[in-house]
Copies of this chain bind each other. A is one copy, B any other.
Amino acid sequence: MTATALADSPGKIVIESIEGDGGRLSLDPAKNCVGIAATETLRLLGGSPSCGVSIKLQKGLPLGSGMGSSAASAAASAVAVNALFGSPIPKEKLILAGLASEAAVSGYHADNIAPALLGGFVLVRSCEPLDIQRLGFDSGDLWFVLVNPLFEAPTAEMRAVLPKLIPMSSLINNCAMGASLIAGILTGDVELIGRALDGDVVVEPVRGPLIPGFTSVKHAAKEAGAFGCTISGAGPTAVAVVADQESGERVKEAMVSAFKSSGGLEINSASIVKLDNVGARVL
């Protein structure tokens, strides 16, 4: 996204244009995550802003994909507005601006906005008060295969399917998986990261069946060499963890093929991406 100063409208936020959203996002700053994040960033800057901000947004991620596109936009907005004023606010604090935006579009949680801003892996111990840990992955590169099928899986519906009450045995299991995920990250054990992702007994078992072909996609990813494969966010994107770009290509092909053959779905996007350790930044 691009942010430019509006010298004659101090404090005003204008969303000039949005590309790549198929016309679905509002240009009203109060109803758009970049607008809300920009407004909150101005608030965090304090005092009376010396200028306003005009924003042009280029969406790089598909909407409703489970890849955190709203958080990505909010992070970009917060960093850009902060940069216009000389970046006095540390990124850790910009999370608060992103949280306000996330609350408006998907719920008050830092799961997406914190890593979008900080890069790498971020453990959110608590949201109120905010208590996050940036976790270093120092054992070489880590790659993800992201396959987004053409299938509308709105976040709200995917949330509604989640159980309200969970058996104690499932709690124990999923706590062990969360703990294993952190252990895998901090010890650089990618196989453990995979086993941790695959061990969820609470969310994936109920959401997976709502995504046509997902079970086959997961199976295909593992068969093709992925360490683990699960639903990205609330879906419908499937994400697999792989060792390198080469095996990523094989896993991607297997996942795409399974979505088509078992799910009857077309593919919107399929990519192999490296863990980014920097997060949102000024280009």
On whether the beta carbons of A199 and B126 are closer than 8 Å, the reply is: yes
Residue from the list B168, B177, B189, B195 in contact with A163, Cβ < 8 A: B168
A202, B135: Cα distance in complex, Å: 26
Q: Does A14 contact B (CB under 8 A)?
A: no
A80, B116: Cα distance in complex, Å: 52
From residue 154 to 178 of chain A, which have CB atoms closer than 8 A to chain B? 162-168, 170-171, 173-178
- List, in ascending order, chain B residues with CB within 8 A of A165's CB: 165-168
Q: Does A196 contact B (CB under 8 A)?
A: yes
Sort chain A's interface into a size bin. 35 or more
On whether the beta carbons of B180 and A123 are closer than 8 Å, the reply is: yes
Min distance, Cβ A232 to any Cβ of chain B, angstroms: 18
Q: Does A131 contact B (CB under 8 A)?
A: yes
Task: Write 22 A-B pairs (CB below 8 A) sorted by A numbering.
Answer: A123-B179, A123-B180, A124-B176, A125-B196, A125-B199, A126-B176, A126-B199, A135-B187, A164-B167, A165-B167, A166-B166, A166-B167, A166-B171, A170-B171, A171-B171, A174-B175, A175-B177, A175-B178, A178-B178, A182-B182, A183-B186, A186-B186
Q: Give the B-binding residues of A (Cβ under 8 A).
A: 123-126, 131, 133, 135, 162-168, 170-171, 173-183, 186-187, 189, 192, 195-196, 199, 202
User: Which 10 pairs of residues, A with B, have the shortest CB-CB distance?
Assistant: A165-B165, A175-B178, A186-B186, A182-B182, A178-B179, A125-B180, A179-B182, A166-B171, A166-B166, A125-B176
